[in-house]
């Protein structure tokens, strides 16, 4: 099982690479839409990239839609990862 | 050369989009890389026999139904002679494991009667399944034209909900009946365990509501569109391979083909979304989008024998009946190449033409296929095919003809193959990656591509962006134009034509 810290690092790395963002801009309180400049089109691409990297499904649309900051995103991914482990 | 909108691809989605934009007063140019426009709707002839490639029949053409309304609005409807299937028309489904034969009629009521006759122990499940499909279709604006489009489209691309397989398992025990109710999947290419009920109902509902042929087949549809487009002043340039999308600032400026540059502020790309990446400079899209488009899962392919028979009268009632030989259970799409008996289908769209005579003995023998079958023969698009490929193709066709004879009577064993389509053919002639018949797989395991892209002025259309098949692709053309021009006002005007 991977730790929350590893999830944090991996999410940061995916966002930096897949969306060509400056690593310094990827602070936990950075908002995806205002600070990082993502838009609603990017949201689906982001979900697909994270699903692939972590081998899980992010089908709870409400939860995805409520993500505002990178910290929210880390929380969501950690929550889903932990749930997956419990299921296994 | 200048236009307001360039449409890349002249399949039914491109033709629909172009006709709608022209109706809105836009100056439109269509670019087609093949010599003849029409994509999969085109017909070809061998020995004077007309063969349809992609159009065999469609729903949605009855009074008040969507394709009729849309094509009336566009102005092509009066140019078409629509031939409703007679009451006795059906999909004749033979389950290979039990030998059971079910006639799947193109009517909710007649289908229900037949299913209850063959599966008397499953009355409740049959009723519940058909009711569920009707119920879902009632929430889809294409089948309940009073609904707005926007909320439906917004929800469409999230892969969620129950799969067709889950629904069938919860209602029905008989695996033969699972297979029978799954057969619409052959019309959109997603296995029952991967497809959600909205996508399934979008094909099953029109199928259960009545289907139609067009006099002259898919070519008649192409010709009707071409006549309408010519009147509207739309230019169609064929033999024009688009090399790149032109960009000025952060905005589409047109396209560059092998021969010329065409300037336009909007470009609609109707090809497979993966191949769009080849036309746009690397820095325009983010890696996440490129990776997503590159990794899209596609539908499988088909192997089709276009054949002739000397004495067409011996084929019996093939005109309005499509014969299927399918496996029992929910995995009816699985192509087990080692299995001696294959799922196979036979129909004869050309026989439905009003001037069809004894000479029109053209039949189509179809089975599923996958790229793996032909990968070893692939020598690039323009290379001449090898003798080994031709041998494999001929032997595979012979096996299917022999099987058809065993299944449906001796007459079928005398089919003479005049042309054969394989995954390689469909890739090279129709631009489908790995010959994927229905393009992008509208599976619960992935998000289908949307219409908008990050590049202002560049839009996607085609069956990958909405629904598979002729209805899906034509509606996709409408939705893309709606995204450009305003979705609800366009939808309002279209539905006035029902």
φ, ψ for residue B459 (rounded to 5)? -125, 150
Is A52 in contact with B157 (Cβ distance < 8 A)? Answer: no
What are the structural domain ranges in chain B? 5-82+214-296+449-495, 86-210+297-435
Q: How far apart are CA B206 and CA B208, in angstroms?
A: 5
Q: What is the mean pLDDT of residues A65-85?
A: 88
What are the structural domain ranges in chain A? 4-87
CB atoms within 10 A of CB A39: 10
A44 chain-B contacts, CB cut-off 8 A: 157, 292, 447, 450
Is B286 in contact with A59 (Cβ distance < 8 A)? Answer: no
Q: Does domain B5-82+214-296+449-495 have CATH number 3.50.50.60?
A: yes
CB of B213 closer than 8 Å to CB of B83: yes
pLDDT at residue number A81? 83
pLDDT at residue number A83? 79
Q: Indicate the CATH number of A4-87 among 3.40.80.10, 1.10.1200.10, 3.30.70.120, 3.40.1390.10.
A: 1.10.1200.10
Angle value at C-alpha B472, between B466 and B478, nearest 5 degrees: 75
What region does B44 belong to: left with phi over 0, alpha with psi -120 to 50, or beta?
beta
Is B292 in contact with A45 (Cβ distance < 8 A)? Answer: yes
Is B291 in contact with A18 (Cβ distance < 8 A)? Answer: yes
pLDDT tens, residue by residue, A26-59: 999 999 999 999 988 898 899 999 999 998 888 7
Chain A positions with Cβ closer than 8 Å to B? 17-20, 39, 41-42, 44-49, 52, 59, 61
CB atoms within 10 A of CB B167: 22
Dihedral, CA of residue B423, residue B205, residue B215 and residue B232, to nearest 10: -90
Q: What share of chain B is helix, strand, coil (3-state, %, to 5)?
A: 40, 20, 40
Is A19 in contact with B454 (Cβ distance < 8 A)? Answer: no
Angle value at C-alpha B277, between B273 and B280, nearest 5 degrees: 125
Q: What is the ipTM of this complex?
A: 0.88
pLDDT at residue number B459? 98
Q: How far apart are CA A19 and CA A22, in angstroms?
A: 9
Q: B12: helix, coil or strand?
A: helix
pLDDT at residue number A85? 67
pLDDT at residue number B158? 61
Q: B415 exposed, middle or buried (CB, 10 Å; 0-12, 13-18, 19+)?
A: buried
Q: How confident is the model at residue A88 (pLDDT cuts 50, 70, 90)?
A: low
pLDDT at residue number B357? 67
Q: How far apart are CA A32 and CA A37, in angstroms?
A: 6
Outline where B29-172 has alpha helix (H). Answer: 66-74, 108-118, 123-137, 150-156, 164-171
A47 chain-B contacts, CB cut-off 8 A: 447
Q: Which residues of B194-208 are buried (b: 16+ CB within 10 A; e: fewer)?
A: bbbbbbbbbbbbbbb
A39 chain-B contacts, CB cut-off 8 A: 454
pLDDT at residue number A40? 83
Is B291 in contact with A61 (Cβ distance < 8 A)? Answer: no
CA distance B471 to chain A (A): 26
Q: Where do we find the tokens 């002739």?
A: B308
B86-210+297-435 shares the fold of B5-82+214-296+449-495: no
Q: Indicate the CATH number of B86-210+297-435 among 3.40.50, 1.10.287, 3.30.43, 3.90.660.
A: 3.90.660
pLDDT along chain B (498 residues), means of 10: 97 98 98 96 94 95 98 98 96 95 98 98 98 97 97 74 96 98 97 95 98 97 98 97 95 95 98 96 92 96 94 81 95 80 92 76 93 91 82 96 93 94 94 94 92 96 94 98 97 96
Q: How far apart are CA B435 and CA B446, in angstroms?
A: 20
Comparing alpha-carbon positions, the chain A residue that sits nearest to B293 is A45
The structure tokens listed for B161 are 């909900």
Residues in chain B, how many?
Answer: 498
Q: How far apart are CA B160 and CA A13, in angstroms?
A: 28
pLDDT at residue number B383? 67
Query: Among B3, B2, B12, which Cα is nearest to B480's?
Result: B12
- List C-alpha distances in Å: B241 to B2, B235, B260, B431: 17, 15, 10, 11
B158 chain-A contacts, CB cut-off 8 A: 59, 61
**Measured between CB atoms, which of A19, A42, A44 is closest to B447?**
A44
pLDDT at residue number A57? 84
Bridge-partner residues for B484, per DSSP? none
């Amino acid at each position: 099982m991977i730790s929350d810290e590893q999830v944090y690092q991996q999410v940061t790395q995916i966002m930096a690479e897949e969306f060509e963002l400056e690593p310094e801009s990827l602070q936990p309180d950075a908002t995806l839409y205002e600070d990082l400049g993502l838009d609603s089109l990017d949201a689906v691409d982001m979900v697909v990239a994270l699903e692939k990297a972590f081998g899980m499904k992010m089908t709870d649309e409400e939860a995805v839609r409520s993500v505002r900051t990178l910290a929210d995103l880390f929380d969501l991914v950690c929550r889903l990862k932990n749930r997956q482990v419990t299921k296994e | 050369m200048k236009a307001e909108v360039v449409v890349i691809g002249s399949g039914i989605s491109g033709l629909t989009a172009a006709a709608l934009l022209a109706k809105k007063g836009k100056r439109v140019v269509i670019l087609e890389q093949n010599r003849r426009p029409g994509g999969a709707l085109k017909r070809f002839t061998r020995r004077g026999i007309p063969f349809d490639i992609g159009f065999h029949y469609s729903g949605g053409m009855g009074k008040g139904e969507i394709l009729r309304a849309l094509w009336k609005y566009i102005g092509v409807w009066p140019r078409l002679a629509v031939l409703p299937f007679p009451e006795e028309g059906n999909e004749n489904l033979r389950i290979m494991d039990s030998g059971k034969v079910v006639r799947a009629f193109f009517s909710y009521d007649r289908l229900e009667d037949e299913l209850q006759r063959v599966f008397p122990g499953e009355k409740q499940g049959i009723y519940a399944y058909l009711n569920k499909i009707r119920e879902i279709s009632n929430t889809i604006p294409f089948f309940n034209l009073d609904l707005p489009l926007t909320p439906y489209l917004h929800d469409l691309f999230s892969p969620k909900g129950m799969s067709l397989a889950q629904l069938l398992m919860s209602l029905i025990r008989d695996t033969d009946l699972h297979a029978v109710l799954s057969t619409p999947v052959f019309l959109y290419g997603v296995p029952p365990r991967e497809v959600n009920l909205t996508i399934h109902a979008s094909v099953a509902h029109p199928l259960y509501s009545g289907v139609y042929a067009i006099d002259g087949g898919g070519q008649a549809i192409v010709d009707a569109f071409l006549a309408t487009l010519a009147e509207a002043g739309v230019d169609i340039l064929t033999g024009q391979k688009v090399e790149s999308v032109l960009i000025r600032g952060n905005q589409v400026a047109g396209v560059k083909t092998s021969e010329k540059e065409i300037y336009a502020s909007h470009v609609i790309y109707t090809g497979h979304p993966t191949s769009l990446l080849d036309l746009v400079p690397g820095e325009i899209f983010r890696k996440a989008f490129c990776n997503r488009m590159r990794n899209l899962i596609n539908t499988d392919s088909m192997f089709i024998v276009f054949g002739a028979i000397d004495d067409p009268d011996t084929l019996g009632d093939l005109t309005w009946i499509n014969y299927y030989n399918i496996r029992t259970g929910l995995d009816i799409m699985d192509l087990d190449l080692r299995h001696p008996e294959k799922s196979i289908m036979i129909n004869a769209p050309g026989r439905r033409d009003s001037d069809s005579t004894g000479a029109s003995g053209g039949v189509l023998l179809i089975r599923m296929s996958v790229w793996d079958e032909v990968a070893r023969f692939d020598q690039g698009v323009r290379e001449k095919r090898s003798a080994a490929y031709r041998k494999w193709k001929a032997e595979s066709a012979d096996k299917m003809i022999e099987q058809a004879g065993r299944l449906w009577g001796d007459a079928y064993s005398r089919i003479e193959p005049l042309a054969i389509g394989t995954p390689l053919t469909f890739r090279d002639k129709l631009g489908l990656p790995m010959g994927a018949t229905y393009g992008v797989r509208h599976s619960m395991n992935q998000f289908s591509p949307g219409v908008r892209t990050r590049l202002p002025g560049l839009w996607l259309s085609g069956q990958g962006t909405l629904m598979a098949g002729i209805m899906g692709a034509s509606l996709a053309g409408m939705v893309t134009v709606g995204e450009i021009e305003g979705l609800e006002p366009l939808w309002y005007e279209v539905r006035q034509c029902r």
